[in-house]
Amino acid sequence: MPADYNGTWEMIENNNFDGYMKALDIDFATRKIALHLKQTKEFKQEGDKFITKTLSTFRNYNLDFTVGEEFEECTKGLDNRTVKTLVQWDGDKLVCVQTGEKANRGWKHWIEGDKLHLELTCCDQVCHQIFQKKN
């Protein structure tokens, strides 16, 4: 049985986010603002169907997907690219591969205790974010 991601998660750590954003060619001003934000993630999960929201005071990003079904994702508000996205289970981890103009792009989510981990990759950059489950 896959992990239960349902709930609201508040960011407590954000390592190498600037390097990740540089790899995505995000402009200097946007990077500087984004580095000071504390994001909140909301997950609604029904089996393999996910409705997710990443919320901050600067920008919000919604992503709905079904595990195992490839779809076209427009990353409007992030780096404004269109990518082919496929999310799959690897044990209890959600592993996403995004195919487009940037190499080695994707992310992984996993839960350890009451913490949600997110590893973002693009080119040779890896960002690791940790979120605490909100009660």
Domain ranges of the chain: 7-130
Q: Is beta strand 71-74 parallel, antiparallel or unpaired with respect to 61-66?
A: unpaired
Sequential DSSP letters for 59-105: --EEEEEETT--EEEE-TTTT--EEEEEEEEETTEEEEEEESSSTTE
* Tens place of pLDDT per residue across the chain (135 aa): 578 999 999 999 999 999 999 999 999 999 999 999 999 999 999 999 999 999 999 889 999 999 999 999 999 888 999 999 999 999 999 999 999 999 999 999 999 999 999 999 999 999 999 999 997
Q: Which CATH fold topology does 7-130 show?
A: Lipocalin (2.40.128)
Global confidence as pTM: 0.94
